[in-house]
Chain A
Amino acid sequence: MNSIIGVILLFIGLLFNLFGCIGLIRFPDVYNRLQAGTKCVTLGTSSMLLGMLFFFGFSEAGIKAVITIPLLFLSASVAAHALIRGSYIFGVKIGDQPIKDDYKEQVETDEKNEVK
C-alpha cells in the first residue's frame, strides 16, 4: 500500500516537473520563466521527496528526504527573489505592455539618489 502511494506521488512530481520545464521554454521573458521554474519545479521535487518517505518509511533515507523539503522551499524562494530583483534592476522589460508597474518609480528614485 505504501509503495503504491509512493509511486503516485513520484508520478505527480514528475508531471509537475515536466510542466515546469515546458514553461521554461514557452514563456516569453525572465519573469514568467521564473514563475514556472520556481513553482512547478519546487512542488514537483517536494512531491517526489514525500514519495521517498512512503517508500522507505521512517528510516534514515525517509526522514532525510522530508527535512530537505523546507530547505528546498526556502532556498528556491530566496533564489527566485534575488534573480527577479537582479533582472529588474538590470533593465529587462515586463512583457510588451505591462498592466501595472509600481516598482518602476521606486527604482528610478533610487537611481536618482545614487547619482546625487
Chain B
Amino acid sequence: MKYITFFLILFLFWLLLTFELSVANIITGAVASLITILFFGKYFVNDVKKFFHPHRYFWLIVYTFVFLWECLKANFDVAYRVIHPAMPIKPGIVKVKLNLKTGIGRTILAASITMTPGTITVDIIEDFIYIHWIYVHSTDPEVYSKKISGRFENYLKRIFE
C-alpha cells in the first residue's frame, strides 16, 4: 500500500515534468519510479491512509497561502536589513520545543522555518529544534517560540497528524 502510493506520486510527477505521453516515456518513468521506491521506499511516510482524507488537502491549501504571506514578509524584512546602511542585525541561536510527532511534519516545519523571517533551522535533537535568528527580538522562550513556530504548527498538525 505504502509502496503503491509512493509509486503513483512519483509517476505523476514524472509525467508532469516531462509532459509527454509517448509509450517510451511512460516506460522510462515507470522504471525510474520503481528503482526509486526500491531504494527509498522505506523512508516514505508510514501511515498512507492520511493521503485519502480530503480535509488534509483543504488545510494544505490554507497553509500554502499562510506560508506565502509569511515568506513575502520575511523577504521584505531581510531585504530591509540588506540595504539599510547600518545593517541592523543581532544574530543568535535559539532553542524551540517541537509539538509535532511525525517525521514529515517536522521536516516541513523545518523547511518552512528556513524560508521565513530571518530564521534558519540548524538542527533537530530529540524534541528541540535549534534556529539561527538574524535579529533576536527577545530572549524569553515563550515569546520567540510563538513567533517562530507557533504560526505554522497548528496548520501542520491538521495536515500531517
Once bound together, how far apart are the Cα atoms of A101 and B95, in whole Å? 9
A-B contact count (CB 8 A): 122
* Known contacts A26-B87, A27-B89; A39 and B75 CB within 8 A of each other: yes
Within 8 A of B (CB), among A24-77: 26-29, 31-32, 34-36, 38-40, 42-43, 60, 63-64, 67, 73-74, 76-77
B contact face: mostly helix, strand, loop, or mixed: mixed
A106 and B130 within 8 A (CB)? yes
Q: Which residues of A are found within 8 Å of B78, using beta-carbon distances? A: 19, 23, 35-36, 39-40
Contact residues, B115-129 vs A (CB, 8 A): 115-116, 118, 120-123, 125
Q: Are B130 and A102 in contact (CB under 8 A)?
A: yes
Question: Do A98 and B115 contact each other (CB < 8 Å), given the known contacts A31-B132, A35-B134?
Answer: no
Query: Pick the contact of B75 from A28, A40, A74, A99 — CB < 8 Å?
Result: A40
- Answer whether residue A11 sits at the interface, using C-beta atoms and an 8 A cutoff: no
Q: Which residues of B sit under 8 angstroms from A103, Cβ to Cβ?
A: 93, 95, 122-123, 130
In the complex, how many angstroms separate the beta carbon of A62 from the nearest chain B beta carbon?
Answer: 10
Chain A residues touching B, majority SS: helix
Partner of A60, one of B19, B81, B82: B19
B93–A80 touching, CB < 8 Å: no
What is the size, in residues, of chain B's interface with A at 8 Å between Cβ atoms?
A: 37
Q: Quick check: is B100 within 8 A (CB to CB) of the other chain?
A: no
Of A19, A64, A80, which is within 8 A of B17 by CB?
Answer: A64
Q: Does A84 contact B (CB under 8 A)?
A: yes
Q: Does A78 contact B (CB under 8 A)?
A: yes
Q: Are A67 and B87 in contact (CB under 8 A)?
A: no
- Interface pair A80/B82, CB less than 8 Å apart: no
Given contacts A36-B82, A94-B93, A103-B130, contact A81 B115 (CB under 8 A): no
* Interfacial residues of chain B within 100-151, with CB under 8 A of chain A in the complex: 110-111, 114-116, 118, 120-123, 125, 130, 132, 134, 136, 139
| Bound Cα distance from A64 to B25, whole angstroms | 16
Contact: B89 with A19, CB < 8 Å?
Answer: no
Residues of A within 8 A of B (CB): 16, 19-20, 22-23, 26-29, 31-32, 34-36, 38-40, 42-43, 60, 63-64, 67, 73-74, 76-78, 80-81, 84-85, 88, 94-95, 98-104, 106
